[in-house]
Every structure is written in C-alpha cells, then in structure tokens.
Amino acid sequence: MAYDSPGMFVQGRFSRRSFLKTTAAGVAASAATGLSFLRIAEAADGVRSIGLGVSEINEIQDKATKDLGFPVAGQAMGYGEMFGKMLNQNDQYEIAEGYYNDMRVMAPAKVWQPLDTKKLKDWDKVTNLTKTGKLTPESSEGQGDAPFKLMWCDADGNIVKGPSQYIIMCPAWHNADSMGYNPKATGRAIESWGELLNKDFKGKVALLNVPQIGVMDAALAIEALGLKKFVDKGNMTKPEIDFLIDYLIPLKKAGHFRAFWENFGQSVNLMVNGEVALESMWSPAVAAIQAEGVPCVYAFPKEGMRGWHGGLAISAKVKGKQLDQAYEYINWWLEGWPGAFVARQGYYHSVPDNAKKYLKPEEWDYWYMGKPAAMDLSDPFGTVIIKKGDVRSGGSYWNRYSKINVWNSIMQENDYLVKRWTEFLTA
C-alpha cells in the first residue's frame, strides 16, 4: 500500500512508457532475489533484508555484499505485504528495514530482538532526532509516534522511556511529507495544509488513501483552517475522528475530492494528467512529475510537515554468525554510503556527517543545507533531476525537522478509524 511504488521511481526507471519494461525487469529481479534468499537461508551465511523500495535497492545491497564480504540480499515489497511478512514470518528475513510508525504493532509482537547500542559503532553520532526528539534544542517533538518514543527498549525488548542501552530499531533514513501542487493550476503558492480543503480547489484535490495517514493530512488541514484543535493528531479520540470524518463526508459528496491514491505512480499520474491541482504527495513524485513536463512544487506548509522515519531491525530468530553479520550490515548503513545514496533521492540519514563523506559538496548543500543547486544534480541512478539554481522547499534539514507537526502513527483507535474511513469512502 503506502510507499510501495517509490521503488519504481527509486530504480530511476519511472515513466509511463517504460512501465512494461519495469514490470518485466521486476519479475526477473524478484526471481533473482528469491534465489539469493534461498542460498543465504540454506548456507546460514549472509543476511536477507526486507523493506520498501525506499531502502531496498539492488545497488545498495550489491555494494554491501562487496564491502562486507558476505552475501546481502534485499527484497522490496509493497507496504501491506512488507508489514505482513515482518510480523508473521520473521524466520524469512534477518533484517527488517521497517518504520517507527509500525512499532506499536511490531514491538509487542516481539518479532525483532533488542539491539545493543554498544555494538553500533557510530551510535554516538546518531542525531538527537530519534534519541530525544529534538534535532536542535529549539525543535518541537511533533505529535504522534515520534521515533524517540518508540525506539528505546529494555533487554527484553519492551518499549521504555529512553535513554537505554537497547533499541528495537536502528534509525537510518527519514523524510517529511506534505503536498505537491501545480502552480499553474492553483494560481498561487500553497503555504498551508488548509488549502487541501479549500473550496477553490473543488474537484481538483486528491488525498492519500491510507486511513492512518490520509486522516492526518485532513486533520492538519482542519487545524490550519481553525475549525478544531486536536489534542494529538497522531492519536485521536473517537469524538475527534467523528468530527473529522463528519466534516469530510459532505465535502466528498459535493465532489471536492477527485481521487484517493494508493501508490506513488497514481499520485504522479493524477497531476501529470491534469486531474488534480493539489494533492498529498511524497517528495520524489515532484521530480517524476517535472520529468513529464508538468510544473510541480512541493509545499512547505507553515504548520509544519508530517514526518516518517525508517530504520533497521534484526529478527528475533537470528543468532550466531548471522547475528554478527546483521550487526555489520547495520553498522555499514550507519557509516554513510547508503545514506548518501538515498540522499540523492531526498531522504535524510540519521548520521548526516557520515552521509556527507560520500556526497559532493554541491549535493550536500542542496539536499541538506537547503541552498540553491550549484550545478545540475542527479538521482542515485545518474538521471538529472535537479537543475542548477533549484532550491529545496523548506530550507535546510535542521529547519525542516525542527517543525515536524506530526509523525506517521498508528492510533489506539485504529480499528475505529479504519471503520469511519470506510464510511467516508462509501459515502
């Protein structure tokens, strides 16, 4: 579901024309992945890693295999598939490249083992974003499942208030989402989440059809319009959910929403085809849309963005040599090369200085410092996606992350939320 298709773009092959080719390549690649997974399992040597296309990229696992001297195989999956496999088949992988917003499910299920931070070489260099929730002293922690609330655990894997010697997942790549818009279609700059529900854009708005996230974008909009203040948008109460859905249903009936998208490709197509002027969006979509010749800007709303954070966890089933190898792989991640790789895609690394070692100064200045690009910049696969002079919306990494409004979360009232969201869609 969510995030599945960034993989398609991450591979640098996204275009409508190459869709078929990508599919064919995907089939071949997954067959190859299956084989290497089998080999690692049979020999009990090396690590199998599962996750989303954001971090499971052939180039990364190939480089790891070369650097580490044991086989590393990665499998990119759709969100639902990944979630199910991580939860129910932890004998099928050594490494889970997961997300903190699933931690409320994964941690109590004890499918991952506590990681000993003493075995993580660069642990001291990991920023405070995940340790205390404050990237800079002035930062706000943000509502919802901020990683620092769900990262620390005791030696048995129970979530505790940090700091502690143990963590459930080692923080690595992360980003913040907002809305993308076509400035020609909106006729003005979009600077607030409230615009998502602005009647000016009736019939030209799309939301993400993942209830847990879609509802947060809507809540951000409702707050921005001053209609209601939510105590915690990442953990709404039933009356709050009711207020929100009851507000959205008449809007939907009036035709406010053009569509609800479920994967990256859909969000790109909606804007490329001129179906929407404004939609909730993941940042790599901007480059994909611009590549089709359609103007697109990623908004930096004044209320702050919606953050999400990924990381690496080790299955509870892993022991012996493979456990050491799993730690080596995580240490290799922290050391920076993969962080630099995904930085060219717009994702941040939990040890920025380590990523910096592998980035050109111009790349560092653009992606992390928020400065105008001093030259054309390429994505990880060599396609130019940033033109000289472009500026990343929201400024520097530290500026963006001091203003995270809310983190992707699983609410306590998740069941109720899904039920009401279904009602919203059925209305």
Partner 1 sequence: MTTIESYARVVDAAPRGLIGGAPAGVGGAAAAQRKYSREPGFPVPILIAPATLWLIVFLFLPLVSIFIFSFWKTTGHSMVPGFTLDNYRAFFVTEGFFDSHSNDFLTPSVFIRTLWTTFRFTFTVMVICLILAYPMAYFLSMQVEDFKWQLALFLLVMVPFWTSYLIRAVAWLPMLGRHGLINEFLLDMGLIEEPVSFFLYSEFSYTMALVQLYVVLAVGPIFFSLAKIDRNLLEAARDMGATPFQIFREIIFPLSLPGIAIGMIFIFVMLMGEFATAVVVYGGKTSTTGTVILSYYAIANYPFAAVNAFMLMLAMMIGVVIILRVVDIRKEL
Q: Which residues bind partner 1 (CB under 8 A)?
A: 1, 79-80, 83-84, 87-88, 104-106, 108-109, 203, 206, 209, 211-212, 252, 257-262, 266, 269, 273-275, 410, 414-415, 418-419, 421-423, 425-426
Amino acid identity for residue 65 in this structure = T
- Round to whole Å and give the CA distance between 359 and 160: 36
Minimum gap (Å) between residue 210 Cβ and partner 1:
8
Give the CA distances from residue 354 to residues 33, 65, 258, 336, in Å, rounded to whole numbers and listed in that order.
Answer: 29, 20, 43, 4
Minimum gap (Å) between residue 347 Cβ and partner 1:
23
Ordered strands of the 115-116 beta sheet: 115-116, 166-167, 152-153
- Round to whole Å and give the CA distance between 66 and 68: 6
Residue (84 or 295) nearer to partner 1, CB: 84
Minimum gap (Å) between residue 344 Cβ and partner 1:
29
Minimum gap (Å) between residue 24 Cβ and partner 1:
11
Residue (79 or 166) nearer to partner 1, CB: 79
Chain-centre distance for alpha carbon 58:
18
Q: Which of 108, 143, 129 is nearest to 349 (CA)?
A: 129
Contacts of 408 (CB under 8 A, 6+ apart): 99, 100, 101, 144, 145, 212, 213, 216, 234, 306, 307, 308
Q: Which of 143, 177, 405 is nearest to 280 (CA)?
A: 177
Give the CA distances from residue 409 to residues 140, 319, 414, 426, in Å, rounded to whole numbers and listed in that order.
Answer: 17, 31, 10, 24
Q: Is residue 272 within 8 Å of residue 291, measured between CB atoms?
A: no
Residue (165 or 422) nearer to partner 1, CB: 422
Minimum gap (Å) between residue 111 Cβ and partner 1:
9
Chain-centre distance for alpha carbon 405:
15
Residue (57 or 313) nearer to partner 1, CB: 313
Minimum gap (Å) between residue 380 Cβ and partner 1:
27
Residue (270 or 359) nearer to partner 1, CB: 270
Residue (88 or 136) nearer to partner 1, CB: 88
Minimum gap (Å) between residue 412 Cβ and partner 1:
9
- Sign of torsion over alpha carbons 5, 33, 56, 379: negative
The angle subtended at Cα 408 by Cα 225 and Cα 235, nearest 5°, is 70
What are 161's two structure tokens? Answer: 């208030």
Residue (381 or 416) nearer to partner 1, CB: 416
Minimum gap (Å) between residue 244 Cβ and partner 1:
16
What are 39's two structure tokens? Answer: 């080999």
Residue (260 or 300) nearer to partner 1, CB: 260
Minimum gap (Å) between residue 205 Cβ and partner 1:
11
Residue (113 or 269) nearer to partner 1, CB: 269
